[in-house]
Amino acid sequence: MCGIVAAITNRNVSSILIEGLKRLEYRGYDSAGIALLDDNNKLIRVRTKGKVEVLEQELKKQPLSGKIGIAHTRWATHGKPTTINAHPHFSSDRVAIVHNGIIENYKDLQQELKEHGYICTSQTDTEIVAHMLDFFLKQGSDLKQAVQKSVKKIKGAYAIVAMEQNNPHQLIAFKKASPLVIGVGIDENFIASDAPALSIVTNRFIYPADENIIVLDDKSVQIYDKNDKLIKSKIVDYTFDSDPIGKGGFSHYMEKEIFEQPATSEQTLEGRISHDKTTIDISNKIPDEILKQVECCHIVACGTSYHAGMVAKYWLEQYAKIPTSIEVASEYRYRSNIVPKNTLYITISQSGETADSIAALKKAQNESNYLSTLVVCNVEQSTMVREAKYNLITRAGVEVGVASTKAFTTQLLTLSILTASLAKLNNDFNEKEFVESLVQLPLKIQQVLEQKEQINKLSTNFKHTNSMLFLGRLTGYPIALEGALKLKEISYIHAESYPAGELKHGPLALIDESLPTIAVVMFEKNTDKLLSNLEEVKSRGGDVYIFADERLKLTEDTQTKIINIPAIDNMLAPILHIIPLQLLAYYVAVHRGTDIDQPRNLAKSVTVE
Ligand code: G6P
């Protein structure tokens, strides 16, 4: 998936597009490009391999100027990240295109176009769109008609923006199951993959529906439906955080975001706890009448959000006594699902734009007999928040680091509140005690963060490690999974996670002095069993690094290092226990000198299947 930004104005759009691209790098950053129509209506472009800053440097050497333009930051799906594969793609030097998503039938279309003399110079699935537009333009269509004819032939989930030499006052765009938002200005208009990309130029947005054709000039925005009927659309005002992309004195966004977690937790709790700090209330977001009917939950998510869902499954069954299943969206969307009576569909997504999660949500809404759908999401303006019946916003603020940290802990916190809201309706849940722990949580997170030097020192042990094992039990298991994910994402060390009881069914064969084991040890009824598993590791020569609840008073020896975690109510322990593992992954990556905020091959928001 990729980031798109386009502008039509009365000033030079070059810097607007570059600023937009910088805010879209979370969608991909392996190559970038920009194309403008200059004052003589000639198409000009610069494309570079690497991040947007490389493109920016190149533009300093060869500046571009024009009042209409399109730009792109890429996450390669078809063809390597090279300059030739970077967008915008041209055809006959008269039409230019940027594209996000996947064109599934591009090979067939390529073949068809070859018969008309069009030869692709790149390995992308995008270039054929430029050629198809040129083909229809040559047949007498205008650019809008050419886009309408082309999208009828294209299969897949994608978004495009096109411009044409002979039509220097219009941008034409189309989206199908892929995000695009229109930014409305005064005598200028914009379009991008998301709203923050346009935060420097406007705070007024239109969210077009799927399969609409969008026609932008500097004075107007026209949106046409599938039947070419002009439709009315609502403008939404949105105020952005003051400086969503500043590092605030930290070396990396990820570091800043880890250290923001006491504050983001407070934000998540705001307005959800009564003034006397005894009760929780989310009834303004999801009514008690719905919660009272819930007899089963299906949780569906991807990546880190999936790990949050795994924790919630343990919680919902233990505290609310509600049978709950958890599944990754890419599996859920393609299999046949059985939906018991009164099942609440819960989807979790930091971005609200993950392609598989959106498709799974649509499937749940269209094909299944769910009681209702609820999204736990960090982005209020996202597709998933607009699609789901109910939403709980996690309020982590903008997260820039690709490896999710504060988005994860605020997801957990929100899910803990949801669990408690269900639990108190269904049985004798001790709400007051839970709220007391909630209130203490930001301070306890702060206490964990204060151990940063100790964790940094520990992390030097892993600078040259090739592989690591993460163990946990019960809610400690998804936390171990998330800790392993953080480490592999940013340090590129192979890491895998097991529920500790599974150790003897295979992974024990891997243990020797070269494989460190990280253990998430909470204060709960199975702690002794987990500690016995760690003894099994040590007796086979493995070193163990235990992140343990302080109440256990564990002691160190030559094979055992301990980091103590403050005591907290059992339900909230997973939120506290992930923090040191985030720090560990971060410091290991610092020592290995990797690209922490933008690790290789990854992207923050995955808008392709
Ligand atoms: C990408 C991100 C992860 C995220 C996952 C799901 O892989 O790098 O951090 O957990 O997508 O994204 P979502 O926005 O749906 O939570």
**Atom of ligand 1 at shortest distance to CA of 404?**
9
**Atom of ligand 1 at shortest distance to CA of 329?**
15
Q: How far is the CA of 36 from the centre of ligand 1 (A)?
A: 32
Find out whether 146 and 106 touch, Cβ atoms under 8 Å. Answer: no
Report the greatest alpha carbon distance in the chain: 80
Q: What are the φ/ψ torsions at residue 552 (nearest 5 degrees)?
A: -75, -20
What letter does residue 100 receive in the DSSP assignment?
E
* Ligand 1 pocket residue status of 302, Cβ below 6 Å: yes
If one residue of 598, 606, 608 were mutated to test the ligand 1 pocket, choosing by the most ligand atoms within 8 A of its CB, it would be: 606
Amino acid, single-letter form, for residue 88:
P
Q: What is the CATH number of domain 451-609?
A: 3.40.50.10490
Q: Report in angstroms the alpha-carbon separations of 306 from 301, 328, 460, 591.
A: 5, 6, 30, 28
Distance in angstroms (rounded) separating the CA atoms of residues 461 and 542: 14
Select from 252, 199, 246 the least CA-distant residue to 403. Answer: 252
Q: What are the φ/ψ torsions at residue 444 (nearest 5 degrees)?
A: -65, -35
Distance in angstroms (rounded) separating the CA atoms of residues 268 and 282: 12
Q: How far is the CA of 497 from the centre of ligand 1 (A)?
A: 19
Q: What is the pLDDT of residue 179?
A: 86
Amino acid, single-letter form, for residue 300:
V
Find out whether 71 and 23 touch, Cβ atoms under 8 Å. Answer: no
Q: What is the pLDDT of residue 592?
A: 97
Cis peptide before 580 (omega within 30 of 0): no
Helix (H) or strand (E) holding 366: helix 355-367
The yes-or-no answer on residue 389 being catalytic is: no
Q: For the chain of 609 residues, list the mean pLDDT of each consecutive stretch of 10.
A: 93 96 90 96 96 96 96 93 96 95 93 95 95 97 97 94 96 92 96 92 92 96 95 86 71 95 94 90 92 97 98 97 98 95 97 94 93 96 93 93 96 98 89 94 96 97 96 97 98 96 93 96 92 95 97 96 94 97 98 94 81
**Atom of ligand 1 at shortest distance to CA of 301?**
15
**Atom of ligand 1 at shortest distance to CA of 354?**
15
Length of the chain: 609
Q: What is the pLDDT of residue 414?
A: 98
If one residue of 27, 302, 489 were mutated to test the ligand 1 pocket, choosing by the most ligand atoms within 8 A of its CB, it would be: 302
Select from 344, 365, 356 the least CA-distant residue to 177. Answer: 356
* Ligand 1 pocket residue status of 378, Cβ below 6 Å: no
Dig out the tokens for 561 from the structure. Answer: 């290092």
* Ligand 1 pocket residue status of 349, Cβ below 6 Å: yes
If one residue of 350, 376, 409, 595 were mutated to test the ligand 1 pocket, choosing by the most ligand atoms within 8 A of its CB, it would be: 350
Q: How far is the CA of 302 from the centre of ligand 1 (A)?
A: 6
If one residue of 304, 358, 379, 487 were mutated to test the ligand 1 pocket, choosing by the most ligand atoms within 8 A of its CB, it would be: 304
Half-sphere exposure of 210 (CA within 13 A, CB side): 12
Find out whether 483 and 584 touch, Cβ atoms under 8 Å. Answer: yes
Dig out the tokens for 408 from the structure. Answer: 């994860």
Show Cβ contacts of residue 466 under 8 Å, excluding neighbours closer than 6 positions.
493, 494, 514
Show Cβ contacts of residue 570 under 8 Å, excluding neighbours closer than 6 positions.
522, 523, 524
Find out whether 307 and 408 touch, Cβ atoms under 8 Å. Answer: yes
3-state secondary structure of 317: helix
Q: How far is the CA of 408 from the centre of ligand 1 (A)?
A: 10
Dig out the tokens for 69 from the structure. Answer: 């333009």
Q: How far is the CA of 306 from the centre of ligand 1 (A)?
A: 9
Distance in angstroms (rounded) separating the CA atoms of residues 514 and 386: 49
Distance in angstroms (rounded) separating the CA atoms of residues 303 and 309: 10
Residues spanned by CATH 3.60.20.10 within the chain?
Answer: 3-237
Q: What is the pLDDT of residue 26?
A: 84
The yes-or-no answer on residue 377 being catalytic is: no
Q: Which CATH class is domain 245-449?
A: alpha beta
Torsion on CA atoms 96, 102, 104, 110, rounded to nearest 10: 20
Distance in angstroms (rounded) separating the CA atoms of residues 382 and 235: 15
Beta strands per DSSP E along 9-87? 31-37, 43-49, 68-74
Helix (H) or strand (E) holding 396: none
* Ligand 1 pocket residue status of 402, Cβ below 6 Å: yes
* Ligand 1 pocket residue status of 31, Cβ below 6 Å: no
Q: What is the pLDDT of residue 196?
A: 86
| Token pair 């983001």 in the structure block, residue | 264
Residues spanned by CATH 3.40.50.10490 within the chain?
Answer: 245-449, 451-609
Half-sphere exposure of 340 (CA within 13 A, CB side): 11
pTM as predicted = 0.83
Distance in angstroms (rounded) separating the CA atoms of residues 451 and 435: 26
Distance in angstroms (rounded) separating the CA atoms of residues 132 and 338: 43
Q: What is the CB neighbour count within 10 angstroms for residue 218?
A: 18
Q: What is the pLDDT of residue 245?
A: 62
* Sheet with strand 156-164: strands edge to edge: 89-91, 95-103, 156-164, 167-176, 213-216, 221-224, 230-231
∠ CA 216-221-223, nearest 5°, is 95
Find out whether 502 and 528 touch, Cβ atoms under 8 Å. Answer: no
Residue nearest to atom 2 of ligand 1 (CA): 604
Dig out the tokens for 515 from the structure. Answer: 């494989």
Q: What is the pLDDT of residue 512?
A: 93
Q: How far is the CA of 603 from the centre of ligand 1 (A)?
A: 8
* Ligand 1 pocket residue status of 28, Cβ below 6 Å: no
| Token pair 């941008």 in the structure block, residue | 171
Which CATH number fits the domain 3-237, given the four candidates 3.10.580.10, 3.60.20.10, 3.90.420.10, 3.40.50.300?
A: 3.60.20.10
Catalytic residue among 2, 120, 296, 377: 2
* Ligand 1 pocket residue status of 354, Cβ below 6 Å: yes
Half-sphere exposure of 25 (CA within 13 A, CB side): 22
